[in-house]
Structure 1
Amino acid sequence: MQASRNKKICVYLGAALLALVIATPVLWLFIMSISSSTHLTTLPLQWWPDEPTFENYRSLLIYAENTPSQSFLYGIRNSVIIALAATGVSIAAAIPAAYSFSRLPGKRRKNLLYAVIAIFMLPPVAIVLPMYTIMNALGLLNTHFALIIVYCSILLPFTTWLLKSNFDTIPSDLDEAPIIDGANRVQAIWYVILPIARPALGAAVMMAVLLAWDEFFYGLLFTNDIRAKTITVAIADLAAGRVADYGLISAAGILAAVPPVVLAFFMQKTLVSGLASGSVKG
């Protein structure tokens, strides 16, 4: 009894310590975002500004030409479009691919699956040169379409592996029964497999959106126009001048984190159940 209680105390203490480690940088980022430039350069450093201000947030959220708000708001718009489009294309392609890897017989499919996962494990710099050459030849640089295609090369292997792991836990008899009754393979997947795999599907969608939203390397290399730059690149541009406005950069970081945090908050149960459902084969 005492050992179990001590174990729970250790678990809670560990969780509290982890939460503190994660929350402290975010809290400091918020404090910087409501501080004036004078306060941020004052020594000794103060943990809370004497006169908190939300001017940095207003500067970013109120649109004006040739100001940081223009680049920031374009970045938000571009990231939303690119992340949703790349996620939609990746999920649409990952569903039949994952089903094929899970159900179709043959030893070669396992090797092919390993090849798909290996693509996901490659560092971005390893494949950026051929991608850039192709996009440049097709005139697709500085377009949403280019980043959507490039992001799909990141998201598709991951979502395929995640959905395949979940499909493996679903007995094949469940999708074979409607086929015997006259349904085709697509109908069996749509009406039988996907409803059962809804948690994993939700987790795949959420992880794909987050991966696309946070991506920086390809966005930096394939875009130099504010009409195509993603939010991560737009924030980096705020620090590119001779004198960086750390309060403005902090406010941009806080605002850019809001959509992923909101998405994770509302889909946390789906994420946990979706990731756990593929961990044990039933």
Structure 2
Amino acid sequence: MPIFVCKRILIYVAALLVALSILAPLLWLFLMSVSSAKDLTQIPLHWLPQHWDFSRYQLLLSLAPDSPGQLFLHAMFNSLITATGATLVSLLLAIPAAYSFSRYSGHEGWLMACLGMYMVPPVAFILPLYFILQQLGLLNTHWGLMLVYCSLILPFLTWMIKNQFDAMPYDIEQAAQLDGLSTYQVLLKITLPLAKPALGAASLFGWLLAWDEFFYALLFTNNINAKTLPIAIADFMAGRATDDGLIAATGILASIIPLIIAIALQKTLVGGLTEGASKG
């Protein structure tokens, strides 16, 4: 058998194993969500439910008062608002910061400060952030969480985007400046269009950081006005009689929005990752 055929077979086998390692937990989570409590606790365990039960999804998608769906849907909306808002604000600040760090020397100290801020344990910022939000009246609000999440996302996006700007040829920008374009015009008309794949990948990773964040949301929210999805899922697990199927259903529904965004940005994400890998 030719060597290139063996290599191709190994690549497909490796890809299949990676896909199985990702899809198998999701498949089991779905089976849990449609299994009865008896099926989930029966020994020996049944891999397929004897009676398929989709009532938990109906319960989570209902806005009936004091129902799990009321908490779940409000929390999903809160997570979507805070994650998207924090990512957009961080992106608007990270682009000019990354461009200045990439194109102008002498700012290495500030760049190291951004990295150091990102590496500090989140628990160190609890009291300062709490007092700031309290003084501004932003506790248990979307704006308060956006402000906190920006402190997490902004250094991350700045470093990712700076690396992409570093890999871009500077000759194109110099030619544009000779044609009369200002620095901001070069950034908007030349640099950003070329860096579009990397911006999409960085934005997606930043958004996922905010979407999955648990620690700050637990401390700075206390009701459905701003409580995010990770906190709502933890609330479902806090009762004495925990419905494992309900928690599994929340996991399935919570993964839908990130999945839709990832599929919509698939070409941009793959392009950004492969371009960053090839420019290293």
Higher mean C-alpha displacement, 16-25 vs 235-244? 16-25
| Number of matched pairs | 280
Q: CA deviation at 1:146?
A: 1.1
- The answer for the alignment partner of 2:143 in structure 1 is 145
Match of 2:172 among 165, 174, 192: 174
Q: Distance in 2 between matches of 1:18 and 1:182?
A: 50
TM-score relative to the length of structure 2: 0.94
Q: 1:229 aligns with which of 223, 227, 230?
A: 227
Given the alignment, which residue of 197, 200, 203 partners 2:201?
203
Cα deviations by residue, 1:79-132 (Å, 9 ceiling, x for unpaired): 1110110011000001100100110123xx223222212222233223223222
- What is the aligned partner in structure 1 of residue 92 from structure 2? 92
Moved more, 122-131 or 236-245: 122-131
CA distance, structure 2, for counterparts of residue 265 and residue 156 of structure 1: 24
CA offset digits 1:158-205 (Å, max 9, x no partner): 111111111112222322333333332111111111111111111122
Deviation larger for 131-140 or 220-229? 131-140
The match for 1:278 is 276
Alignment partner of 1:119 is 2:117:
yes
Provide the C-alpha distance between the structure 2 equivalents of 1:83 and 1:210, rounded to a whole number of angstroms.
Answer: 8
Confirm whether residue 62 of structure 1 aligns to residue 62 of structure 2: yes
Summarize deviations over 1:31-73 as a string: whole Å, max 9, x none: 0111122222222211111110110000000111111111100
Post-superposition Cα deviations, 1:129-176, rounded to whole Å, max 9, x if no partner, equal 322232233332101111101111111111111111111122223223
Where do residues 22-61 of structure 1 align in structure 2 (5 Å cutoff)?
A: 22-61=22-61
Moved over 4 A (4+): none
User: Paired residue for 2:154?
Assistant: 156
Identity within the alignment, %: 51
Q: Show CA shifts across 1:206-258 (max 9, x none).
A: 11211111111111111111110011111111111111111111101100001
Aligned-residue offset at 1:280: 4.6
2:218 corresponds to which of 210, 217, 220: 220
TM-score when normalising by structure 1: 0.93
Q: Partner letter of residue 15 of structure 2? A: A
Q: Which amino acid aligns with 1:160?
A: T
Counterpart for residue 183 of structure 1: 181
Give 5+ residue unaligned stretches, structure 2: none
Gaps of 5+ in 1: none
| Letter aligned with residue 227 of structure 1 | N
Q: Which residue of 2 aligns with 1:267?
A: 265
Distance 2:238 2:187 in 1: 49
